[in-house]
Amino acid sequence: MAQKRLQPDVYDISGFSWETIVKHSAMAALLFFLAFFVSISAGAEEAQKESARKPIIGVNCDVNGDKPRLIGLSALYLQALKNSGAIAVLLPPMPEEDLNRVLKTLDGVMMIGGADYPPSLYGQKTDAKTEIMDEERWRFDILLAKTVVEKTKLPFLGICAGCQALNISRGGSLVQDIPTKFPEMKVAHASKEGWQKGFNKHEVRFAKLTKLKSIYGIDSLNVPTSHHQCVDRTGDEMAVAATTDDGVVEAIEMKGERFVVGVQWHPERDFSANRDLFKKFVSAANNNAESQGKAGIKSEGETASLQRRFSAE
């Protein structure tokens, strides 16, 4: 009768040579590294696919100074787009022919806040409290808004001055100074130190049957704001989408299904409350990319894609 073993089995390697042991060890190490690199490659491929699904949004810039001349914008605009699943690229002032070329590489356009546009653009003389922005910027801004709306199908989101540029480009006009035109108003549209020095918060009410009402799903919202001008006469195909209790226009949008929206407040300064606005804008940009046959073009890398699309023209 076989004696019961009291100790666990052990491997007897006496029959293996050191060469065999080293060979098997090397094979195991090779298999480990192969698995590791396959895992890394799969992760990179997934990241590339995720990047390919992100629409590219062009954002205009502020222009200031002379020596040195500065071009830039608040990082909050870019962060809001990033948080909403988009890739932001800056659009400094450029000639019309360059703009037409660049717009073919984009999936949407967002315009930011800033100083005032020349009232001559909408048939008025300049009031004392109007502070006109840099000429290079305002000329490009109006060109950008007009070109995007009239010559492309790109979704458009205008914030503060971007909302005003949209309305001007459609033939509309502005109130040059809200406190001057509405001396009895009770809503503070900017801080007591002035619209360029701080922000205030007030409520806006969404008009029924508008894109904004559908996006936010509520009747009103408390928003961060800093402006002394607003839309007066709406431009062609534009409709009022939100107002304050004192009757000031706080948002406009293009009639129909296309996403062309301008808000007078600063949604980037309260992203959590305005997340749905940015998400809807980015979603519209994604849908536009797919409808234009751009979906998947970015899969080989954003930079290579842009170079390829430029050289193809």
pLDDT tens-digit series, residues 115-174: 999 999 999 999 999 999 999 999 999 999 999 999 999 999 999 999 999 999 999 999
In a domain, 14, yes or no: no
Predicted TM-score of the model (pTM): 0.79
Of 38, 55, 53, 84, residue with least CA distance to 299: 53
pLDDT above 50 (res 181): yes
Which residues touch 92 (CB under 8 Å, ≥6 apart)? 61, 63, 71
Number of domains into which the chain is organized = 2
CB 145 within 8 A of CB 111: yes
Amino acid at 310: F
Q: Do 156 and 183 belong to one domain?
A: yes
pLDDT in tens, 274-312: 999 999 999 999 999 988 776 433 334 444 454 454 445
Q: Do 28 and 173 belong to one domain?
A: no
Max alpha carbon distance in the chain (Å)? 115
Q: Do 48 and 136 belong to one domain?
A: no
7: helix, coil or strand? Answer: coil
Name the domain boundary from 7, 35, 52.
52
By CB neighbour count within 10 A (0-12 exposed, 13-18 middle, 19+ buried), where does 69 fall?
Answer: exposed
Domain of 186: which CATH number? 3.40.50.880
In a domain, 10, yes or no: no
Domain carrying residue 39: 20-52
Which residues touch 238 (CB under 8 Å, ≥6 apart)? 166, 167, 170, 172, 252, 253, 254, 255
**Summary mean pLDDT of the chain:** 85
Of 270, 236, 271, 267, residue with least CA distance to 250: 267
User: What integer pLDDT is reported at residue 307 of this predicted model?
Assistant: 45
Compute how many other C-beta atoms are within 10 angstroms of the C-beta atom of residue 274: 22
Q: What mean pLDDT comes out for the span 167-184?
A: 95
pLDDT in tens, 76-111: 999 999 999 999 999 999 999 999 999 999 999 999
By CB neighbour count within 10 A (0-12 exposed, 13-18 middle, 19+ buried), where does 215 fall?
Answer: buried
Amino acid at 149: V
pLDDT in tens, 34-73: 665 555 544 545 445 555 679 999 999 999 999 899 999 9
Q: Do 247 and 292 belong to one domain?
A: yes
Q: Do 84 and 183 belong to one domain?
A: yes
Q: Do 207 and 297 belong to one domain?
A: yes
